[in-house]
Amino acid sequence: MNLISLEIKENFLIRLYFGVVTDFYFAGVKRAYLDFSRTLHLKNETKLQREITRKETEYYLVKKLKEFISKDLSNQNEFDTEHRKIVLGLKNKWKKLSIGQSQKWVNMTLKYWLLFGNKRIPSIEKNAIYFHIPIDSIIQKSMFPNMKHNAWSKMKDYDLVYMEYQKKFRTNSNEIPILAEFNMFNESK
């Protein structure tokens, strides 16, 4: 007999890690922010200014990603085009973000939302086969050992640098990218 159901376990882990039982959209965005924020160096900006900008950017990101995951996309190119708009729009919304930080925020938010599932984030699985892998130093070293790497957080070019990682991964893998990334992360030491 299982004393604790899978749902109770899942809810407990989500509350423990994300600190929420509702508002999963913002929980994913806020957690993804923490994943890259240590690389965000904001000189000449007060703590209050940073908080205001962060909150405005979070609302922007939730709005854009909710629209994005609800779209009926039929191929990877359509996803890539929409993804590019969101990453560049995010960078434009908060000018001090690099492309590397913006992609990490977008991709990790989608990854967290995918963990929450359709029950909490309706439509999240609709286009998940097209999701990008979040690029960071762990991914750079483990999935792209033969590439020369600059710091992911300083990445400035979406088309020539960021998309090179995505295309190279797709060429070298037969798995759904985000699923392969989950597996790689779970198996890493």
Residue at 9 is within a domain: no
Say how many domains are in the chain.
Answer: 1
* pTM over cut 0.85: yes
Residue at 161 is within a domain: yes
pLDDT at 189: 66
Tell me how crowded residue 5 is: count the other CB atoms within 10 A of its CB.
9
Average pLDDT of the residues of the chain = 92
Residue at 157 is within a domain: yes
pLDDT band at 20 (very low <50, low <70, confident <90, very high): confident
Residue at 61 is within a domain: yes
Residue at 38 is within a domain: yes
Residue at 40 is within a domain: yes
Does residue 101 carry a pLDDT above 70? yes
pLDDT at 63: 97
Query: DSSP letter at 151?
Result: -
- What is the C-alpha separation between 129 and 50, in angstroms, rounded? 34
Does residue 43 carry a pLDDT above 80? no
Judge whether 135 and 103 are in contact, CB under 8 Å.
yes
Q: What is the DSSP string of 28-80?
A: HHHHHHHHHGGG---TT--HHHHHHHHHHHHHHHHHHHHHHHHS---SHHHHH
Does residue 91 carry a pLDDT above 80? yes
Q: Under DSSP, is residue 106 helix (H, G, I), strand (E, B) or coil?
A: helix
Judge whether 64 and 86 are in contact, CB under 8 Å.
yes
Percent of the chain with pLDDT over 70: 99
pLDDT at 183: 87
- What is the C-alpha separation between 157 and 87, in angstroms, rounded? 11
Give the chain's radius of gyration (CA, Å). 17
| CA proximity to 94, closest of 145, 29, 141 | 29
Judge whether 106 and 87 are in contact, CB under 8 Å.
yes
Mean pLDDT of 30-45: 88
- Residue 165 belongs to what domain range? 24-187
- The type of residue at 53 is T
Residue at 87 is within a domain: yes
Q: What is the DSSP string of 168-186?
A: HHHHH-SS-HHHHHHHHHH
Q: Which helix H or strand E contains 160, and what residues bound it? A: none
Residue at 19 is within a domain: no
Longest dimension (CA), the chain: 59
